[in-house]
Chains A and B, each alone.
Chain A
Amino acid sequence: MTVTDERTGAAAPVSTTPLLEVRDLHVEFHTRDGVARAVNGVDYSVNAGETLAVLGESGSGKSVTAQTIMGILDMPPGRITQGEILFHGQDMLTMSAEQRRKIRGRKIAMIFQDALSSLNPVLSVGYQLGEMFRVHQGMSRKQARAKSIELMDRVRIPAAKERIGDYPHQFSGGMRQRIMIAMALALEPELIIADEPTTALDVTVQAQVMDLLAELQREYNMGLILITHDLGVVADVADKIAVMYAGRIVETSPVHDIYARPAHPYTKGLLRSIPRLDQKGQELYAIKGLPPNLTRIPGGCAFHPRCPMAQDVCATDVPLLHPVGAERGSACHFWKETIGD
């Protein structure tokens, strides 16, 4: 713990402080089958105007990390056992509930996968949008309404003025996701966390929504943490990428490098398992085995039972995130061999 404190002290110069930095975060859940270690030492950071894609399968801990940042993790059963979440250099985990509440929504906003269940079905969309302005900025009903219409225009909802009184179920999936984006943007936050924002949408609508999100991000110079399992979406919008597996970051890299030369066997396996034209009629490359059960994560490198390159050392020693060139890291004992062939 003392090491971490020293680091905080060293990171004093304001100019280099990232917008958000997660340091050595550990989160676990108490379940009937034992303790599920969902997040086991995650470090990542995002700057203003930057898009960080957090890539992982279900159970990789990507969503739990996001929920912890937002402070919406259910505790219990969840428990943060270690780590810091620094927003402008200030640890949010040690803040008072009141301080955190002020950041949540105003400075950091979240977009969820399922817009229908994230919106209140019995309140009109206009009311829910306007509520943001009334509660946080003390606007009058009329002002809030005008602002809401403006916002709905921003996210390109056609006929915003007429539709402001409509209820969530009267909108299509894509439109609802736009409303979610509008709500997240309402208070012009500095950071947006988008948890699988387009997974529930159709391909053609997905493209619209991702484009809109990227455009608004540029315009407001916001930081964006995009949580997804879709390698295609990542390639489309991310600046840098963090690949998670069994609650750890196994590889981190600027987006261009990782697709060309992955430095972790898991990333490599994911990329290779995408069907390619020249493989037609052949067997697809498949990572063997299954993602681990979080109550019984394998010792050493969590990926070793599925890894084609695993050696004895992988079952015993936890690989640290080795620096691999500029701004890159790989948590693999054999990253050199991985990147080489």
Chain B
Amino acid sequence: MTEPLTREPASRKPILQVRNLVKHFPLTRGILFKKEIGAVKAVDGISFDLYAGETLGIVGESGCGKSTVAKLLMNLEQATSGEVFYKGEDITRLSGRALKAVRRNIQMVFQDPYTSLNPRMTVGDIIGEPFDIHPEVAPKGDRRARVRELLDVVGLNPEYINRYPHQFSGGQRQRIGIARGLALNPEIIICDEPVSALDVSVQAQVVNLMEKLQDEFGLSYVFIAHDLSIVRHISDRVGVMYLGRMAEIGTDTEIYEHPTHPYTQALLSAVPVPDPQARERRERIILTGDVPSPANPPSGCRFRTRCWKAEERCAQETPLLAVPSVFAGSDSPAAHESACHFAAEKDVVGSASVDAA
């Protein structure tokens, strides 16, 4: 953080490229001699780019695989297949020293501020641990001062350095987690639901902090969440995941105002809007049924079992994530990548409910 990072968000250079990423968790039977009887297809072929200085939001419901994507990007899980290129190098195959070096540049903020901090360590030890692991980042005598600096950067009193995590509230703990993520001066931070465990009044504080840090240090975020309004606020681009696949990806305006995938449309219409006036006005798509099990996903399009547009073709043919042919060449905001055979616009959000309140 000593060198000023003034990367332009507009410089369209991917810093992270994800290609056909797959993670299957084998289901086994037997005690000593394990036999594979199937697999949970948590992530099943995901591709996207993250550009320097931008925030890519990833939304989806539980079980869609978004948290697994975070773990794969962090190399906390071994990918079954596919690649993650960081500055042109595939990091899924790295180990040992090379992996450790990459980890300096890609860090993570966890969802649960209560379990992501070791209860037996002081705040100073937690934020200072990155320097113990990567001693080259900060000389030994300097570390305490660096930790205090980091506490100040995330808006905590540096005097708290000797306290234990349980002496802090959820929002403060999340700031501690963010400070730990910042310690190594990374370029990318993967945020796995960083505010969903926090109280409403504290969420906004943490979102503001993350935006401020992004500007200050030129960070790129992958921001995984299920709260669509917060994702919209913070993201430059948004990807919508369903059952291990990417359903639709585009800029925030493209996704929120011109969604072409039926799942995105249903998801947006289901979000409760904090405006009682909208109760009567808005048209909601109430999906039937639940998300199918990722151990036994439907053939073809994953969403077809809950989709009102589904036809025979959807069961036979897996729709690819691409700009739909109907919009090809058009410069309308609907012309963005959407994995649907029958992609079409449907104004579900409506201007009224979006800028409600």
A residues at B contact (CB < 8 Å): 57-58, 158, 172-175, 202-208, 210-211, 229-236, 238, 255-256, 259, 269-271, 273-280, 283-288, 290-291, 306
Residues of B within 8 A of A291 (CB): 169, 199, 201-202
Q: Are A207 and B284 in contact (CB under 8 A)?
A: yes
Q: Does B39 contact A (CB under 8 A)?
A: no
Q: Which residue of B lies closest to A306 (CB)?
A: B201
**Residue from A255, A270, A288 in contact with B200 in the complex, judged by beta carbons closer than 8 Å:** A270
Residues of B within 8 A of A256 (CB): 276-277
Can you show 22 pairs from A to B with CB atoms below 8 A apart? A158-B289, A175-B290, A207-B286, A207-B287, A229-B199, A232-B274, A233-B272, A234-B274, A235-B272, A235-B273, A235-B276, A259-B357, A271-B274, A274-B357, A275-B232, A276-B355, A277-B354, A280-B232, A284-B208, A287-B204, A290-B171, A306-B201
Q: Are A58 and B208 in contact (CB under 8 A)?
A: no
Q: Are A273 and B199 in contact (CB under 8 A)?
A: no
Q: Are A205 and B169 in contact (CB under 8 A)?
A: no
Q: Are B233 and A279 in contact (CB under 8 A)?
A: yes
Residues of A within 8 A of B117 (CB): none
Measured CA separation A269–B279 after assembly (Å):
22
Measured CA separation A270–B284 after assembly (Å):
25
Measured CA separation A238–B276 after assembly (Å):
9
Q: Are A203 and B270 in contact (CB under 8 A)?
A: yes
Residues of B within 8 A of A210 (CB): 272
Q: Does B344 contact A (CB under 8 A)?
A: no
Q: Are B201 and A274 in contact (CB under 8 A)?
A: no
Min Cβ gap B165→A in Å is 15
Q: Are A273 and B200 in contact (CB under 8 A)?
A: yes
Which of B222-230, B310-318, B323-331 is the interface stretch?
B222-230
Interface centre among B211, B271, B273, B274, by most A CB within 10 Å? Answer: B274
Q: A175-B290, A284-B208 are in contact. Are A277 and B226 (CB under 8 A)?
A: no
Q: Does B205 contact A (CB under 8 A)?
A: yes
Measured CA separation A269–B205 after assembly (Å):
12
Residues of A within 8 A of B275 (CB): 235, 259
Q: Are A204 and B287 in contact (CB under 8 A)?
A: yes
Q: A231-B200, A291-B201 are in contact. Are A204 and B357 (CB under 8 A)?
A: no
Measured CA separation A286–B195 after assembly (Å):
13
Min Cβ gap B304→A in Å is 15
Measured CA separation A290–B232 after assembly (Å):
25
Residues of A within 8 A of B287 (CB): 204, 207-208
Q: Are A203 and B204 in contact (CB under 8 A)?
A: no
Measured CA separation A287–B288 after assembly (Å):
38
Q: Are A172 and B204 in contact (CB under 8 A)?
A: no
Q: Which residue of A lies closest to B290 (CB)?
A: A172
Q: Are B228 and A203 in contact (CB under 8 A)?
A: yes
Chain A at the B interface: mostly helix, strand, loop or mixed? helix
Measured CA separation A116–B275 after assembly (Å):
31
Residues of A within 8 A of B203 (CB): 273
**Residue from B172, B200, B270 in contact with A290 in the complex, judged by beta carbons closer than 8 Å:** B172
Residues of A within 8 A of B233 (CB): 275, 279-280, 284
Q: Are A284 and B207 in contact (CB under 8 A)?
A: yes
Q: Are B267 and A204 in contact (CB under 8 A)?
A: yes
Q: Are A205 and B290 in contact (CB under 8 A)?
A: yes
Q: Are B286 and A208 in contact (CB under 8 A)?
A: yes
Q: A275-B233, A286-B205 are in contact. Are A255 and B226 (CB under 8 A)?
A: no
Q: Are B201 and A236 in contact (CB under 8 A)?
A: no
**Residue from A175, A204, A232, A273 in contact with B204 in the complex, judged by beta carbons closer than 8 Å:** A273
Q: Does B320 contact A (CB under 8 A)?
A: no
The range of chain B's interface size is: 35 or more
Q: Are B357 and A276 in contact (CB under 8 A)?
A: yes
Min Cβ gap A210→B in Å is 8
List 7 extra interface pairs beyond A230-B272, A290-B171, CB under 8 A: A158-B289, A204-B270, A205-B61, A231-B200, A235-B275, A236-B279, A287-B205
Q: A203-B267, A208-B286, A230-B272 are in contact. Are A285 and B204 (CB under 8 A)?
A: yes
Q: Does B99 contact A (CB under 8 A)?
A: no
Q: Are B200 and A259 in contact (CB under 8 A)?
A: no
Residues of A within 8 A of B232 (CB): 275, 277, 280
Measured CA separation A147–B200 after assembly (Å):
41
Q: Are B276 and A259 in contact (CB under 8 A)?
A: yes
Q: Does B121 contact A (CB under 8 A)?
A: no
Min Cβ gap A155→B in Å is 14
Q: Which residue of B lies closest to A238 (CB)?
A: B276
Interface centre among A211, A278, A283, by most B CB within 10 Å? Answer: A283
Q: Are A283 and B211 in contact (CB under 8 A)?
A: yes
Q: Which residue of B lies closest to A207 (CB)?
A: B270
**Which 5 A-B residue pairs are closest in the complex by CB-CB distance?**
A232-B272, A275-B233, A202-B61, A286-B204, A273-B204
Residues of A within 8 A of B169 (CB): 290-291
Measured CA separation A230–B196 after assembly (Å):
12
Q: Does B278 contact A (CB under 8 A)?
A: yes
Q: Which residue of A lies closest to B199 (CB)?
A: A57
Q: Are B207 and A290 in contact (CB under 8 A)?
A: no
Q: Which residue of A lies closest to B279 (CB)?
A: A236
Measured CA separation A210–B271 after assembly (Å):
12
Measured CA separation A324–B115 after assembly (Å):
44
Min Cβ gap A46→B in Å is 18
Q: Which residue of B lies closest to A198 (CB)?
A: B272
Measured CA separation A173–B291 after assembly (Å):
10
**Residue from A172, A207, A231, A286 in contact with B274 in the complex, judged by beta carbons closer than 8 Å:** A231
Q: Which residue of A lies closest to B235 (CB)?
A: A280
